[in-house]
Amino acid sequence: MAFIFEEPSHTFGEYLLVPGYSSAECIPDNVSLRTPVVKFRKGEESSIMMNIPLVSAIMQSVSDDKMAIALAREGGISFIYGSQSIEDEAAMVARVKSYKAGFITSDSNIRPDQTLADVLALKEKTGHSTVAVTEDGSPNGKLLGIVTSRDYRVSRMSPDAVVADFMTPLEKLITAPETTTLKAANDIIWDHKLNSLPLVDAEGHLKYMVFRKDYDSHKENTLELLDDQKRYVVGAGINTRDFAERVPALVEAGADVLCIDSSEGFTEWQKITLAFIREKYGDTVKVGAGNVVDADGFRFLAEAGADFVKVGIGGGSICITREQKGIGRGQATALIDVCKARDEYFEETGIYVPVCSDGGLVHDYHMTLALAMGADFLMMGRYFARFDESPTNKVIINGNYMKEYWGEGSNRARNWQRYDMGGAKKLSFEEGVDSYVPYAGSLRDNVRQSLAKVRSTMCNCGVLNIPDLQKNAKLTLISSTSIVEGGAHDVVLRDTKSSR
């Protein structure tokens, strides 16, 4: 007879937090959401820490380079989707790493004999309004001038106008030697009211660009997540089939952390993948694994060398694995079980393996519940798919703006590697749906509002950081009647949408 758990599995919606004593210091501005991403030994700190406990899902409809930049700017990490060619995924990672490094290798360059039409086409392609004019049009060619939007007017100039005739020439530019420090470069930008500063070598070849917007961005986004070279931190998804080729390419591109993207992680395939990475790179390459839903699965992946373990099967809004295969577990119960195993493993070994809760988050308050239940950070798909920065189309459905959103196990994505069981290279049946989610605007505005709720709730619990929330929070199961009581009830709501 099969083993049967005595207690039913529960979802986040079946729990509430019970308030704790809040001191005068418990105000949202004092709350830190800093959290570890990869394993570390007792008494040490994780080599990768996030400033907010949010990562975006390894999905075609969620995580590309644009999403990665936006989320890193807020303090989190995107895991670029792996269900694309190795070259394309590596290129996305590289674009994130080069987007903001303080010293930027120019990717918008043009020759002086090209035209305004070429400038406009380049601006459309890269999104950058500052174009370096070099002798050969290369990133490190001899600098001859700069073209910005102030140098031309499309309505009054011919598309055939030659760049040399309207660019700001070198003799009118302020430049600096390539040995200039970032602090000194920013001081020059500030003193001379510049938007950009080219750094050149002794022969006049362009080496780097330093932009005012990068300085301003850092001052405005105090939680932005940067590596030791001042570049945005980015993750990338891998699978258990082509890891021998994909991992080296992603490492070369600059990925800070990898994650095995799989619907079910308690497999020898993941152990083999982790063993390859450890043998080739030791502990220098950080990689998470999953997904699992119980203590046995966690222990297996922790002992196999995972840097973090992802929890959740079938709880995602577009996932139909439970319907199709009858496997999974309520996300809250799975998370509580795995986090208990995480703590036991830490006591035994002195190694803390962070836990990522993946799926089942419907409302903002579920974020705080998941953290209280032991999650170190949260992976979300539907949440991020709603934003401007997701790679999908914005469409109008029944008069409302929506964003396209599809699962990796849908026929649209056909990410068979994620559901690989060692058989034929195909998707035998769907484990995800193709859908729409309500358009929500910018990532920045929504993430900041969601985390304002998390910080406020943590203050209600009397804690100022995630470890204290995990240690001191009090949770209670609620009845179906309590769920009804928790919303607006026994009143007639005003129609605020009607015309006045």
Taking only the tens place, the pLDDT of each residue in 44-80 is 999 999 999 999 999 999 999 999 999 999 999 999 9
With a cut of 90, say whether residue 370 has pLDDT above it.
yes
Which residues make Cβ contacts (< 8 Å) with residue 103, sequence separation at least 6? 182, 185, 199, 207, 208, 209, 210
| Mean pLDDT (whole number) for 381-388 | 95
Helix (H) or strand (E) holding 258: strand 257-260
Confidence of residue 385 (pLDDT cuts 50, 70, 90): very high
Residues 45 and 369: beta-carbon distance below 8 Å? no
**The token pair that represents 208 in the structure block:** 């780097």
pLDDT of residue 127: 81
With a cut of 50, say whether residue 105 has pLDDT above it.
yes
74 or 182, greater pLDDT? 74
Q: How far is CA 132 from the centre of its chain?
A: 31
Confidence of residue 425 (pLDDT cuts 50, 70, 90): low
DSSP 149: G
- Beta-bridged to residue 432, according to DSSP, are 319
d(CA 359, CA 353): 19
Confidence of residue 139 (pLDDT cuts 50, 70, 90): very high
Percent of the chain with pLDDT over 70: 92
Confidence of residue 128 (pLDDT cuts 50, 70, 90): confident
pLDDT of residue 189: 93
pLDDT of residue 136: 95
| Mean pLDDT (whole number) for 460-489 | 91
Q: Tell me which residues are annotated as active site.
A: 319, 418
Residues 206 and 200: beta-carbon distance below 8 Å? yes
**The token pair that represents 329 in the structure block:** 């577990």
pLDDT of residue 418: 58
| Mean pLDDT (whole number) for 111-119 | 96
Residue type, 381: G
User: 55-59, 214-218, 421-425, 452-456: lowest mean pLDDT where?
Assistant: 421-425
With a cut of 80, say whether residue 497 has pLDDT above it.
no
Bin 224: left if φ > 0, else alpha if -120 < ψ < 50, else beta: beta
DSSP SS3 for 230: coil
Owner of token pair 């043998």: 279
With a cut of 60, say whether residue 416 has pLDDT above it.
no
In whole numbers, what is the pLDDT of the chain averaged over residues?
91
How deeply is 261 buried, as exposed, middle or buried, from its count of CB atoms within 10 A (0-12, 13-18, 19+)?
buried
User: 27-41, 129-143, 406-420, 437-451: lowest mean pLDDT where?
Assistant: 406-420
pLDDT of residue 466: 98
Owner of token pair 């007792």: 42
Residues 145 and 119: beta-carbon distance below 8 Å? no
DSSP SS3 for 25: coil
| Mean pLDDT (whole number) for 252-261 | 97
pLDDT of residue 92: 96
493 or 189, greater pLDDT? 189
Whose CA is closest to 407, among 234, 246, 261? 261
pLDDT of residue 420: 59
| Mean pLDDT (whole number) for 439-460 | 97
Confidence of residue 82 (pLDDT cuts 50, 70, 90): very high
User: 120-124, 373-377, 445-449: lowest mean pLDDT where?
Assistant: 120-124
With a cut of 60, say whether residue 426 has pLDDT above it.
no
| Mean pLDDT (whole number) for 256-276 | 95
**The token pair that represents 215 in the structure block:** 């300085």
DSSP SS3 for 343: helix
Confidence of residue 206 (pLDDT cuts 50, 70, 90): very high
With a cut of 50, say whether residue 500 has pLDDT above it.
no
CB pairs under 8 A, 24+ apart, for 85-89?
86/242, 86/245, 86/246, 86/249, 86/250, 87/249, 89/236, 89/237, 89/246, 89/249, 89/250
Bin 2: left if φ > 0, else alpha if -120 < ψ < 50, else beta: beta
pLDDT of residue 194: 92
pLDDT of residue 421: 61
